Amino acid sequence: MNLKTILITGGAGFIGSHLVRLLVNKYPNYKIINLDKLTYAGNLANLTDVENAPNYEFVKGDIVDADFIHALFDKYQFDAVIHLAAESHVDRSIANPMEFIMTNIVGTANLLNAARSIWKTSNLQPPTSNLFYHVSTDEVYGSLGNEGMFKETTPYDPRSPYSASKASSDHLVRAYYHTFGLPIVISNCSNNYGSHQFPEKLIPLFIHNIKNNKSLPVYGKGENIRDWLWVEDHARAIDVLFHNAKIGETYNIGGHNEWKNIDLIKVICKVMDKKLGRTEGESEKLITYVTDRAGHDLRYAIDSTKLQHDLGWTPSLQFEEGIEKTIQWYLTNEEWLNNVTSGAYQHYYEKQYASR
């Protein structure tokens, strides 16, 4: 492909950092610009292995700042955007909906407007050399019963401020395609797991709590079901879609790997007991059941047949191997986990950029 300058938003986050690493290493002729606000979940320590690569550059900034975003697009003349920056924790969205509305909706609109401005889009002659790739979530589809799976044609039915804000951003992206001819692709992915995830999410939180003999709070009876995908497989899927997807299309990405929360937690407990030299069943004693979350969707399950059939992507890692590798990474990188939890990394990089 021709030399491309690609903007990746949220590239210091969990999924974003895995994607940045993949593209920087795989495509030395691409210029990867990583834009991140460096909130609590954005961590440049996730990217120390590529921070000095000649085809990589980090920019600190907020997608909610429209003037900043337009200036950034004017400076770099991006050929493509892969948009991952988002507030994504459901509990936080219940506590502070407006933060999610601003970042996930207004921030996405700012990026769409800037891309439209520099690409000179028209619904009569859409550009063929540009792409706005919007990374979304399966939560926009709402909740499933015991049967069925989310397809790309499943009607949206978001149940939390987080999923509603992501659904709104998806609709905006499609509207800019149909109205203005902006070349877009959307993907909706299931729950991710793997290394470098901020420990507010279930798997790293429970690994941390088990290690420190803290309570494992389980919503309701733990019967909510999620489809889990290894984060590096998600990054590979984005790579495949970025280069091969049909413009204007939506693709679901999933692991075909459904687990009840309580069953997943018991697997983590079992692996942790083995790795920590504890008696089997010891960590399960830390499980406590708490009042269920408001608007808690019962079940998510992704049908990724379209992606697999059309573009040949499949998950590379079985869950048993993936969860073992994930737990081992957090145990081996306890310093990373402690620094993230304490905010030490964030303070370090805040000082670094304040001095520039």
- Following DSSP, what letter does each residue of 134-180 receive, concatenated? EEEEGGGG----SS--B-TTSPP---SHHHHHHHHHHHHHHHHHHHH
Catalytic site includes residue 138: yes
Using CA atoms, how far apart are residues 224 and 345, in angstroms rounded to an integer?
33
- Following DSSP, what letter does each residue of 211-241 receive, concatenated? HTT--EEEETTS--EEEEEEHHHHHHHHHHH
CB–CB of 55/122 below 8 Å?
A: no
Q: In angstroms, how far apart are the furthest CA atoms of the chain?
A: 67
Which of these is catalytic: 79, 139, 170, 297? Answer: 139
Catalytic site includes residue 345: no
**C-alpha 344: how far from its chain's center?**
23
Which of these is catalytic: 133, 141, 162, 176? Answer: 162
Using CA atoms, how far apart are residues 230 and 336, in angstroms rounded to an integer?
20
CB–CB of 1/243 below 8 Å?
A: yes
Catalytic site includes residue 177: no
Structure letter (DSSP) for residue 289: E
CB–CB of 217/112 below 8 Å?
A: no
Using CA atoms, how far apart are residues 238 and 234, in angstroms rounded to an integer?
6
Contacts within 8 Å (CB) and 24+ apart, 294-297: 294/94, 294/160, 295/94, 295/159, 295/160, 296/219, 296/220, 296/224, 297/139, 297/142, 297/143, 297/144, 297/159, 297/160, 297/224
Would you say the C-alpha torsion 227, 256, 142, 10 has a positive or negative sign?
positive
Which of these is catalytic: 62, 87, 138, 152? Answer: 138
Q: Provide the annotated active-site residues.
A: 138-139, 162
